[in-house]
């Protein structure tokens, strides 16, 4: 008699395609053979996960055709099964999988389109957060300001691509001009994706603004974000950029150094 | 004290001196906080929040208003809907 833990592990493996005699011996067929009974569950797992991935990646599915998509995600589900029960959380690593999947490796823009769709999915389901009251940033010492980390809205993410993935995405929405042509050589984009109210929105940012915001999103302090922005564009205006960030309601918290006046700073 | 730090601090101060007009519209709407109840029999096909007697996942009910599929609704709203029930009905 296997332990429950062993049984669950064996059933999970069997569902992903590696059925063996031991697990079949534990299954009551109830009118079907144990293998056929297991097949009912396997079919359900694959059709549910395929539907979930298609819902998260509709543009990728459209670009490669639903039949190819079903084939690719069948391989993906076997290689990277879900780690948790929530369907909307499944599929984060699909872009990397597609980038390395030989049958579509020549579609170089495809993984970045998938990354954009994942960012949209992530933004849609991110928790809510209230914008920071900007007056709380008053009275910082020079060291305190440089080491200030601004926490951005949980729905916000930043995505850079060599390809115009925003245009690819728009051209593949329901109701888009069917004769519209996207020039893949039109140049890359730097996108900010976030939720605004109940809608997910994205827009392209100038190089310096993108560098500034994505450095903050990665947890960098103001000094680091300023360095990144100055490296990206010499005309960078910190006051203006900071002000736009606050006006966009994207800052939801700050971790100022403990000593606001910098008097007892050990670093 | 580094020159950059002074530059950053003065930019922060300058950014904060301008009046904040757009912030009220810029932020997300406050999350509604309501008491939720499970309401059976009113979910559109595929939009249920639960498992049902014959399917195992959210989003899998096969037809509109399936009696054993429920969605979360604000407390008190379910009884006012045609077909809404706080108990599962025959599918």
Q: What are the pLDDT digits (tens) for B30-65?
A: 444 566 677 787 777 666 666 555 555 566 666 677
Q: How many domains does chain A have?
A: 2
Rounded CA gap, A134 and B23, in Å? 9
Residue A194 lies in a domain: yes
Rounded CA gap, A117 and A57, in Å? 6
Residue A61 lies in a domain: yes
Is A100 in the same domain as A2?
A: yes
CA distance, residue B73 to nearest chain A CA (Å):
18
What pLDDT, on a 0 to 100 scale, did the predictor assign at position A64?
A: 96
Is A94 in the same domain as A150?
A: no
Question: Choosing among A46, A195, A238, which should be mutated to test the B contact, i.e. which has the most B CBs within 10 A?
Answer: A238
Q: B39 has which bridge partners?
A: B71
Question: Choosing among A246, A248, A267, which should be mutated to test the B contact, i.e. which has the most B CBs within 10 A?
Answer: A246
Average predicted confidence (pLDDT) for chain A? 90
Residue A178 lies in a domain: yes
CA distance, residue B8 to nearest chain A CA (Å):
6
Question: Choosing among B13, B21, B28, B55, which should be mutated to test the A contact, i.e. which has the most A CBs within 10 A?
Answer: B28
What pLDDT, on a 0 to 100 scale, did the predictor assign at position A126?
A: 92
Residue A182 lies in a domain: yes
Is A262 in the same domain as A139?
A: yes
Residue A120 lies in a domain: no
Extract the residue ranges of chain A whose pLDDT is less than 50.
258-267
Is A264 in the same domain as A185?
A: yes
- Say yes or no for a CB contact (<8 Å) between B22 and A247: yes
What pLDDT, on a 0 to 100 scale, did the predictor assign at position B59?
A: 64
Is A92 in the same domain as A152?
A: no
CA distance, residue A22 to nearest chain B CA (Å):
25
Average predicted confidence (pLDDT) for chain B? 69
Boundary (domain end) residue, out of A72, A107, A142: A107
Residue A220 lies in a domain: yes
Residue with tokens 């954009």: A116
What pLDDT, on a 0 to 100 scale, did the predictor assign at position B52?
A: 59
Chain A and chain B share a number of CB contacts under 8 A equal to: 87
Q: What's the CA angle centered on A238, arms A235 and A241, to 5 degrees?
A: 95
What pLDDT, on a 0 to 100 scale, did the predictor assign at position B72?
A: 77
Is A55 in the same domain as A12?
A: yes
The answer to whether A125 and A157 are in contact (CB under 8 A) is no
Structural domain including A214 reads 129-267
What pLDDT, on a 0 to 100 scale, did the predictor assign at position A101?
A: 96
């Amino acid at each position: 008699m296997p332990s429950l833990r062993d049984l669950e592990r064996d059933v999970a493996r069997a569902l992903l395609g590696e059925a063996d005699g031991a697990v079949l011996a534990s299954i009551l067929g109830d009118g079907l053979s144990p293998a056929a009974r297991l097949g009912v569950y396997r079919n359900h797992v694959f059709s549910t996960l395929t539907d979930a991935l298609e819902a998260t990646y509709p543009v990728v599915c459209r670009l490669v055709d639903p039949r190819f998509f079903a084939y690719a995600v069948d391989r993906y589900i076997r290689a990277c099964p879900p780690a948790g029960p929530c369907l909307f959380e499944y599929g984060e690593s699909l872009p990397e999988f597609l980038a390395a999947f030989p049958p579509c490796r020549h579609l170089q823009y495809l993984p970045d389109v998938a990354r954009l769709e994942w960012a949209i999915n992530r933004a849609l389901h991110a928790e809510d957060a209230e914008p920071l009251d900007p007056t709380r940033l008053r009275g910082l010492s020079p060291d305190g300001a440089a080491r200030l980390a601004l926490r951005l809205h949980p729905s916000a993410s930043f995505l850079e691509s060599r390809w115009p993935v925003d245009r690819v995405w728009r051209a593949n929405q329901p109701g888009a001009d069917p004769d519209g042509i996207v020039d893949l050589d039109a140049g890359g984009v730097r996108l900010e994706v976030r939720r605004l109210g109940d809608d997910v929105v994205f827009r392209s940012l100038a190089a310096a603004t993108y560098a500034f915001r994505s450095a903050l999103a990665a947890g960098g302090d103001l000094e680091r974000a300023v360095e990144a922005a100055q490296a990206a564009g010499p005309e960078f205006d910190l006051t203006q950029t900071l002000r736009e960030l606050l006006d966009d309601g994207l800052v939801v918290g700050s971790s100022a150094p403990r000593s606001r006046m910098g008097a007892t700073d050990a670093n | 004290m580094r020159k950059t730090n002074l530059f950053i601090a003065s930019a922060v101060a300058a950014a904060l001196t301008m009046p904040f007009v757009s912030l009220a519209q810029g932020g997300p709407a406050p999350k509604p906080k309501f008491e939720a109840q499970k309401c059976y029999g009113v979910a559109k096909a595929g939009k249920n929040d639960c498992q049902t007697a014959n399917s195992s996942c959210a989003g899998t009910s096969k037809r509109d208003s399936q009696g054993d599929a429920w969605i979360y609704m604000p407390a008190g709203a379910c009884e006012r809907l045609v077909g809404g029930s706080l108990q599962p009905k025959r599918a």
